[in-house]
Homo-oligomer: A and B are copies of this chain.
Amino acid sequence: MKIHDISMEISEDMPVYKNKEEKKPRIEPTYRIGKFKSNESMLHLDSHTGTHVDAPFHFIQEGTKLNKVPIEKFAGPCIVIDLTDIKKRGIEETDLKNAEIKKNDIVILKTSNSLKEFDFEFVALAESGAKYLISKNIKSVGINSLGIERSQKGYPTHNSLLKNNIIIFEGLELSKIKPGRYFFLCLPLKIKDGDASPARAVLVEGL
């Protein structure tokens, strides 16, 4: 068994969505050894920091909140699809048609996006791509950008996925990952009435 860590490091100078100052993490030391017996901290984190999980409630007012999403949605067989040829446009249905997506798969979109800094022209999932994934009865979907959608009118990608209870993983660090099949896990904090949560994500080989 080999575990690949595909998570972003959380730090005060990490990239955040649209470089918005208010979305930057703040890590506040509360106890430090010397004055105290131990090191402890307060974490001030936007719910969409770094590698994170979107619950239906993020875009759907009546949608399932994070603490009520079944744990099975966050783990399972996955396919990492190579979409690194796409530049500066959305991922459409035609880009996905050749991938061997199985029912209940977690689909991971490996694009040419980098997570080193926020790219305003990041490759996102277009509406036709989202609708195709819904038609394939997938479990969840992930991507290597801080969003799965750029600002589209009516946010059809988020809305259509989340209305169908397809959970979204954003900020996956896939630069060292080869396309293919793995076991995926990304377990969010069980936040009461949560819209999203930062999380650690892994791909497991040989399970």
Contact at B45–A192, with CB atoms within 8 Å? no
A10 to B38, CA, bound (A): 23
0 or 1 for each of A165-207: is its CB under 8 Å from B? (1 = yes): 0000000000000000000010111111111111111100001
0 or 1 for each of A128-165: is its CB under 8 Å from B? (1 = yes): 00000000000000000000000000010010000000
Contact of A42 among B9, B47, B190 (CB under 8 A): B47
- A41 closest partner in B (C-beta): B47
Residues of B within 8 A of A74 (CB): 200
Q: Give the shortest distance, in Å, between A78 (CB) and chain B (any CB).
A: 14
A97 interfacial by beta-carbon distance below 8 Å = no
A158 to B33, CA, bound (A): 14
Contact of A5 among B43, B190, B195 (CB under 8 A): B190
Number of interface residues of A (CB under 8 A): 55
Residues of B within 8 A of A57 (CB): 39
Q: Give the shortest distance, in Å, between A139 (CB) and chain B (any CB).
A: 13
- A154 closest partner in B (C-beta): B37
A72 to B205, CA, bound (A): 13
- 5 inter-chain pairs at a CB distance below 8 angstroms, sorted by A residue, are A27-B191, A41-B47, A42-B46, A189-B199, A190-B200
Chain A interface residues toward B at CB < 8 A: 3, 5, 7-11, 22, 27, 30, 33-34, 37-48, 50-51, 57-59, 61, 67, 71-72, 74-75, 155, 158, 185, 187-202, 207
A92 to B33, CA, bound (A): 28
- A13 closest partner in B (C-beta): B192
Residues of B within 8 A of A37 (CB): 59, 155
Q: Give the shortest distance, in Å, between A66 (CB) and chain B (any CB).
A: 9
Q: Give the shortest distance, in Å, between A171 (CB) and chain B (any CB).
A: 11
A194 to B25, CA, bound (A): 13
A61 to B59, CA, bound (A): 43
Q: Give the shortest distance, in Å, between A177 (CB) and chain B (any CB).
A: 14
